[in-house]
């Protein structure tokens, strides 16, 4: 009986590989044009989910993980997309800046699930300071109690 269950699971894993998942990198229309150090910090920690320059790793081609990766990228781009930055109003940019500051300060971005496979994406304190200074320059507040676990 256990043999049939294992064979069923293997067959299901093989079959789900044929379910298509859309993984796109549309053209960059109006990329983030901030200071080079700020852009470098964002590229390291944010661009995979918040730009049209996503690097699709090998596991993003293996179901069911591919479904989760594509969903996370689509959700990230929906919130904001650095590749469309120049098309946003100043008000929207300020709101995004404040949200970025809050999420980085709270340790919510990049997400811990992403950092499991991309530990180098975790911003160090210098990169956080660069991001926080950029946020402040764009009218955002940094919440008290920056959680720095480095």
pLDDT, residue 24, reads 92
| Closest residue by Cα to residue 70 from 62, 90, 36, 143 | 62
pTM for this model (two decimals) = 0.85
Spatial distance between the Cα atoms of 23 and 48, rounded to a whole number of angstroms: 12
Residue 150 pLDDT class (50, 70, 90 cuts): very low
Q: Once rounded to an integer, what is the mean pLDDT over residues 139-144? A: 59
What lies within 8 Å, CB to CB, of 93 at 6+ separation is: 85, 138
How long a stretch of residues is the chain?
150
* Structural domain spans, the chain: 2-137
């Amino acid at each position: 009986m256990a043999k049939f269950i294992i064979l069923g699971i293997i067959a299901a894993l093989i079959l789900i590989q044929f379910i298509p998942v859309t993984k796109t990198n549309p053209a960059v229309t109006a990329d983030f044009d901030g200071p080079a150090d700020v852009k470098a910090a964002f590229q390291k920690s944010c661009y995979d989910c918040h730009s049209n320059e996503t690097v699709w790793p090998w596991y993003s081609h293996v179901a069911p993980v591919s479904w989760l990766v594509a969903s996370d990228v689509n959700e990230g781009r929906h919130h904001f997309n650095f590749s469309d930055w120049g098309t946003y109003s100043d008000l929207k940019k300020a709101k995004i800046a404040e949200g970025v500051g809050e999420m980085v300060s709270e340790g919510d971005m990049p997400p811990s699930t992403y950092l499991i496979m991309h530990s180098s994406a975790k911003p160090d304190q210098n990169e956080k300071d660069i991001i926080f200074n950029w946020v402040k320059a764009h009218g955002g507040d940094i919440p008290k109690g920056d959680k720095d676990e480095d």
